Structure 1
């Protein structure tokens, strides 16, 4: 029986090697249109932190990207996804954002998707609470940080070098980035002319490249098998075939019924959480 003891280990190693070395181009063609359609509104952070689903969405001629933060999760009847589902305008909103996703997070994503976004119309919603002296903190940065996109930045040869250095300097202020010794070494070398640091970066670069490819593979397999369906608010009567002025009136009536507990016109359900 001893001669069979290593069979499970051998099988595990073979499967791992298949997982790592199976060509990405063969696999990404299996990301279905249904998956892409669902991803456009699911607001899944794993999709935001990845590349493959986003690339496929942005390649669609009718995709209309909308970038923001927590407001995108307010699926009332006037939400863009519900409005354009009721009023066929020839395009589908692609939602990118959740709470804590501020400009730095969006920059990292834009840098990764620059080729897909070039020449494309998009909406970028800027929230007032983003603007404070300290900027985004670790508590909001870490859950939204994409290690894959951080490595994309290292190997991105098309981005302006000054902008790249500014981004790396800012990213190095976060514990999440500094804990990755390979990544932080490459960032620091980009910002410094120290020979010893440059030497360390040259030694770390092959490992960084391997990490980058593994993160791409992980994202690809998630793109094939992950995700979930988000329940949306369906009430097309409030928005279907209405002018802008009619929509404003309907929205004010809708909001007034749901904001009675405070003078700030904030939803009662939201205020109860605090």
Structure 2
């Protein structure tokens, strides 16, 4: 009997041991070599693989010869027209290159745990963080989207440093609500309750994390895409060789005019045809009851601020507008929208985050928006002007002073007024 069982399971066990050994022999990300072209591919890939991968982010952000800056956001980075920040940085050989960190449905909580993978690489550096007020709905981030972009190494890395602080308790509770891997629930429940992890807990976490980090490195370069060579480099040829703001704005108008001919909202033709035209009548007045003033997203934003303060990262926050014509058609309360922007800005400024590029009042400008909620064409040029100034001129050192009241229910679920 034992001999038969050995013949059946022996090869399986041996294969597992061999795979485990192979993964553990792979050097971790800190020992990998820098390759500028490969780093550029990763920085512009916009694939879930890159978004979740620790090795690719650490490799680019630690390159001593090239300055990659994390650009956090959601789906706006996919709007790769000729004025996209990666195209502009490449065309005019900016002293920085955007490392695009965003996916459709990704919000503050996703970004917070992704940051755990690159804490050292962000220390005393700069970053750009795009905020969309549309994130701040009553239900907060969609658990399905969160789980899709979640990598266990993020939570395990965070757990190694989690304390009995208000922010860590809040983060643990939010993770539990996201219904991630049940294998982490034991640790998360302890932190959420204000308890410390035991030595045994931390040992188990360290062993699992070591294995996953080796695995992360092994599969780092798979499926990172070719956006850099296929979508970024070719578009640099559409721009004037020497930066000229007036020329670029004229060019943006020309591109936008050609691509907004099938609708009255100034929305890109393809987006309108694929996403709106078939349900045009049904969408009218559909956003009358939308409210961005009461949301757990404000607490998730506070986690982001906590992390930036921890790494002393100097951040430019960019607030996106909403297409004004679209807002009127769908019945979105623009006064409520501006109140949510004010609430976000108060949370930032009151804690020392003073670098804010607020485009929330620009949704009525011609060719500023590429679709309903994302900037493009002229909007990208305004974005580029603010970002380039922030990243290329000397900035005062940040001085942050965080306040735990921004985790409280009274802040998350109440309207805001000056």
Q: Output the TM-score relative to the length of structure 1.
A: 0.83
Q: Is the CA contact 1:182–1:208 (under 8 Å) kept in the aligned structure 2?
A: no
> Residue in 2 aligned with 1:173?
177
The corresponding residue for 1:132 is 137
Question: What is residue 209 of structure 1 aligned with on the other side?
Answer: 206
CA distance in structure 2 between the aligned counterparts of 1:10 and 1:30, rounded to whole angstroms: 33
> Which residue in the other structure is 1:221 paired with?
218
Q: Deviation string for 1:121-159 (max 9, x for gaps)?
A: 2211112321212211123222222222121111125x8
Aligned to 1:259: 260
Aligned to 1:101: 106
Q: How do 1:1-274 and structure 2 match up within 5 A?
A: 12-22=15-25, 24-25=27-28, 28-29=31-32, 32-60=35-63, 61-156=66-161, 161-175=165-179, 177=180, 180-192=181-193, 205-230=202-227, 231-232=230-231, 234-235=234-235, 236-274=237-275
Q: Size of the alignment, in residue pairs?
A: 263
Cα-Cα RMSD: 2.9
Contact 1:49–1:148, Cα closer than 8 Å, also in 2: no
Deviations 1:91-141 (A, max 9, x none): 222111111111111111223322211221221111232121221112322
- What is the CA–CA distance in structure 2 between the aligned matches of 1:11 and 1:154, rounded to whole Å? 32
CA offsets 1:189-219 (integer angstroms, 9 cap, x no match): 012268xxx79x7665544333322321221
Stretch deviating more after TM superposition (26-35 or 209-218) = 26-35
Change (3 A) 1:205 1:115: closer
Work out the CA distance in 1 between the residues paired with 2:11 and 2:76.
49
Structure 1 unmatched runs, 5+: none
Kept in 2, the 8 Å contact 1:67–1:97? The answer is yes
Offset of 1:270 from its aligned partner? 0.7
The aligned residue for residue 279 of structure 2 is none
Residue 25 of structure 1 deviates from its aligned partner by 4.2
> What is the CA-CA distance between 1:37 and the residue it aligns to?
2.5
Provide Cα deviations, 1:6-52, integer angstroms capped at 9, x if missing partner: 88557524522422431634984256444222111111211211211
| Cα gap change, 1:45 to 1:263, in 2 (>3 Å) | same
Q: Structure 1 pair 183/266, CA: closer, same or farther in 2 (3 Å)? A: same
CA 1:32 to 1:232, structure 2 compared with 1: closer, same or farther past 3 Å? Answer: same
Tell me if the contact between 1:100 and 1:144 (Cα under 8 Å) persists in the aligned partners: no
Confirm or deny: 8 A CA contact 1:78 1:239 kept in the other structure: no
